[in-house]
Amino acid sequence: MAPQQRKPHVCRNPDLIRGVGKYSRSKMYHKRGLWAIKAKNGGAFPKHEKKVADAAPAVKPPKFYPADDVKKPLVNKRKARPTKLRASITPGTVLIILAGRFKGKRVVFLKQLTSGLLLVTGPFKINGVPLRRVNQSYVIATSTKVDISGVDAQKFDDKYFGKKVEKKKTKSEGEFFEAEKEEKNTLPQDKKDDQKSVDAALIKSIESVPDLKSYLGARFSLKAGMKPHELVF
């Protein structure tokens, strides 16, 4: 039968009380109607032939049995997913960073990276926060949104922010005693250019909203009498 919408099956033998049905065995047999099916089929219940299963391919007994039973690890069907993004955080939302070097800064959210961290930018010109990753738990989402349509954040991913792997140099005796610090602490120019290109479109849309620029430049702080559990962000 093709699978159709099946009505949930009603009980044929309702309980009078628990354990005692309304109908006796013989009445139930009559109700089920198997006798009618048998009669239609000439005295026996209709059967269909068993499908012949293909003969299993001949397996040779293995030459080697391991001495102890090898335990198989349990199946793990979990998929790694980035943390669920709060409904209040959408691209263009202004976030308040709660901890770290930039605590209290108001910052624009760009996108969520595959690691689950949020990609965020000051913009740098306005409050000194560069393109940065931030954890969702250390951030408060405000209801202020910035128009982010001009920004292309496609090329940024977790690898962009990872630590650069330095090649190990073999040290000779003389070099060992010299200072090892090279001037690698300056930011590479292409990162500065990325920052400028992302911020250019953002700053335009920020300046079109009155006071938003100074809002983003100011830090958030709790003042006397402020109750965080009553604040609406």
Q: Which residues bind another protein (CB under 8 A)?
A: 86, 88, 98-99, 103-104, 137-141, 219-223, 225, 227-230, 233
Q: Closer to another protein by CB, 60 or 223: give it.
A: 223
Q: Which is nearer to another protein, 23 or 138 (CB)?
A: 138
Of residues 100 and 188, the one with the C-beta less far from another protein = 100
Report in angstroms how near the CB of residue 137 gets to another protein at its nearest: 4
Smallest distance, Å, CB 86 to another protein? 8
Nearer to another protein, 4 or 137 (CB): 137
Q: Which residue, 105 or 119, is less far from another protein as judged by CB?
A: 105
CB of 120 to another protein, least distance (A): 14
Spatial CB neighbours of 208, under 8 Å, sequence gap ≥ 6: 147
The least distance separating another protein from the CB of residue 140, rounded to whole angstroms, comes to 5
Q: Provide, rounded to whole angstroms, the least separation between the CB of residue 11 and another protein.
A: 46
